Structure 1
Amino acid sequence: MSGTKADDCSVAGFKSALESGAIAYGGKYSAPDYERLSASGCTLAIENTMINHTPDVKKKLQKLGLVVLTEQSSSEPEALGRVEWIKLFGVLFDKEDEAAHLFNEQKARVEQTSGLASSGKTVAYFYINSNGAAVTRRAGDYVAKMIELAGGNYALDDAQTASTSGSSVTLEMERFYATAKDADIIVYNGTIDESVATLNDFVGKNALLSQFKAVKNGNVWVTSADMYQQMTSTADIIDELHGAFTGDDASDFHYLRKLG
């Protein structure tokens, strides 16, 4: 069973399994269908860190006899640290060799890309929330590390993203503009905000955006909706970031699209 409905899933194979009924919807993480879970004989609940916000749900699942495993890959500071969680699932489901092979393959590809010459480009990564503020990632976060592995320089440093303890950092637009306006490239987080399809959509989010160097130079990209869900495609994502930074042909990109 899954805590995600088919309409909210952007991973094709998983979405298809939900639509066919091969995987059943078991309720949202914060409001599981306890009766269905119990009747199915389910013994293991794999949760992401959002379960920490609903401790009563975790307790009730445990009371029903389920082991609750909290998957914390999103807290990893390194991109390959996230991928390495596949080894845990290899242990759980008796596929250790397959998991190790997948991880080693991703590791080799990431090391190959990171060994290429730096693009010298400064990169800003963010989305605009409903209040018009920029939500970016902490310097040193795995997204920032992916940008660096791809040959980019993350536009914000530790001091500029030290306002919260989480991986996401919200900055008022004026402050964000002052620190990131000269970034060579903008990567807009379309995983969180899917409303940006064109450059006009992007600059319509906040008047200051039109003044960014990357906007003036037409170097604004948006991520796909499924980027965060594709940990086992980390090498592909880094390859595409490198291609965006160095001007490669982007016609066959899946995770990045240039806005025009």
Structure 2
Amino acid sequence: MVELLKEEASIIGFPFSKYISSEKTRTLIDGGNIKEIGKENSLNTEILLDLQPQLVVGYSVSSAVKSLTTIKNAGINVIYNGDWLEETPLGRAEWIKFFGVLFNKEKQADSIFNVIEANYIEAKNIALKSSNKATILSGAIMSKDIWNLPAGESFVAQFLKDANVNYLWKDSKGTGSLSLSFESVFDKAQSAKFWIAPGYFSSKEQMLKSNKIYSKFNAFRENKIFTPATKKGKTGGIIYYELATTRPDLVLKDIIKITNPKLVPNYNLTFFEVMK
């Protein structure tokens, strides 16, 4: 969002900066203009205090609060970014207006968001032209035979709803993720046409090493698994995790392209690709 406002030179410190893929900002990192300040939940407060920033933009999780409190007590301004708490894709993208206020660029931020919003609504309306609602499975087993997938009221489920597909857990409650037994997921989704975002897996071989029963899903056998985990920047950052919050219109178009490619014939996938 800071880049979209052309203010990346204002950033002087960033946690775990190896995950930044943008070439413009990587140039600043490589040139020493942006310092490494630790990991998200374990900031190096000594380095950060030496930088003397005018403002630290953080987010509130239990392990991060202590570091941010130390910084605040040292007289440095701290503001919490709450975009991750938003329950809709456009709600998250609208946080560019927050940065617009910080840089006195409210009009530019509003204009950028309005374009993204218009593109999203246009893509949503295109998706409604199809009466073919493909069945969708998501997630994977993360540990101890427990399958994690998006709950029906989550922002991920909203993407699938707006893409006019049949997410098999669309009627479930909750805005986070569901933790389900492997057996219940297999019974419900063995015949699902598409499998979108299968956890952290980046290859079918990797999935089979974890659990051979994955091969019994139709989407696995028919090469209909799509993952964002394989599109990475030069230093290993996954593009989806960096850019998707800001560009929900492109995420929605990706899902439409996967499930109803004829609706967006001239569009190429931005974040996802077929898992091999």
Query: Which band: TM-score by shorter chain?
Result: 0.7 to 0.9
**Are residues 83 and 208 of structure 1, via their aligned partners in 2, closer, same or farther at CA, if it must alter by over 3 Å?**
same
Residues 216-227 of structure 1 aligned to structure 2 (within 5 Å)? 216-224=221-229, 225-227=238-240
The one-letter amino acid paired with 1:206 is N
Q: Does 1:214 align with 2:219?
A: yes
Partner of 1:47: 58
1:240 and 2:254 are equivalent in the alignment: yes
Aligned residues between the structures: 250
Q: CA deviation at 1:239?
A: 0.6
- Indicate whether 1:2 and 2:2 are aligned: no
One-letter amino acid matched to 1:90: G
| 1:22, distance to aligned residue in structure 2 (A) | 2.2
Hey, what does 2:142 align to over in structure 1? 129
Q: Percent identity?
A: 20
Q: Which residue of 2 aligns with 1:182?
A: 191
Q: What is the DSSP-based 3-state SS (H/G/I as helix, E as strand, rest coil) of the residue aligned with 1:253?
A: coil
What's the TM-score once normalised by structure 1's chain length? 0.85
Contact 1:156–1:179 (CA under 8 A) maintained in structure 2: no
**In the alignment, is residue 196 of structure 1 matched against residue 202 of structure 2?**
yes
Structure 1 distance, partners of 2:255, 2:78, is 35
Cα deviation digits, residues 174-231 of structure 1 (max 9, x gap) = 22222332321101246xx2x523x333344322221222223321111142213212
> What's the offset of the Cα at 1:236?
1.2
TM-score (norm 2): 0.81
Distance 2:83 2:15 in 1: 18
Output the CA distance in 2 between the equivalents of 1:176 and 1:221. Answer: 18
- 1:209 maps to a residue whose letter is Y
1:254 paired to 2:270: yes
- Closer/same/farther in 2, CA of residues 135 and 13 from structure 1, 3 Å limit: farther
Report runs of 4+ in structure 1 exceeding 6 Å deviation: none
- Helix, strand or coil at the partner of 2:57: strand
Instruction: Identify unmatched segments of 5+ residues in structure 1.
Output: none
> How many angstroms does 1:235 deviate by?
0.9
Q: CA distance change for structure 1 residues 101 and 251 in 2, over 3 Å: closer, same or farther? A: closer
Q: What is the one-letter code of the residue matched to 1:76?
A: E
Q: CA deviation at 1:242?
A: 0.3
Bigger drift between 228-237 and 89-98 goes to 228-237
Residue number in structure 1 paired with 2:122: 112
The alpha-carbon deviation at position 251 of structure 1 amounts to 9.0
Q: Distance in 1 between matches of 2:275 and 2:57?
A: 36
Name the CA distance, whole Å, in 1 between partners of 2:27 and 2:247: 19
The aligned residue for residue 67 of structure 2 is 57
Q: For residue 69 of structure 1, what is the aligned residue in structure 2?
A: 79
CA deviation map 1:14-54 (0-9, x unaligned) = 3343233221112223332222222222132211343x334
What's the Cα RMSD here? Answer: 2.4
Partners of 2:23 and 2:169 in 1: CA distance: 34
- Contact 1:250-1:257 within 8 A present in 2 as well: no
Deviation of 1:132 (Å): 4.4
CA distance in 2, matches of 1:171, 1:67: 42
Relative to structure 1, is the Cα distance of residues 64 and 143 closer, same or farther in structure 2, using a 3 angstrom cutoff? same
Matching residue of 1:81: 91
- C-alpha separation between the residues in 2 aligned to 1:112 and 1:147? 15
| Cα distance change on mapping 1:171 and 1:21 into 2, 3 Å | farther
| 1:61/1:11 CA distance change after superposition, 3 Å | same
The change in CA–CA distance for 1:94 and 1:256 in structure 2 (over 3 A counts) is: same
Alpha-carbon distance, 1:106 to partner? 0.7
Aligned partner of 2:34 among 23, 33, 40 = 23
Tell me the amino acid that sits aligned with residue 242 of structure 1. Answer: I
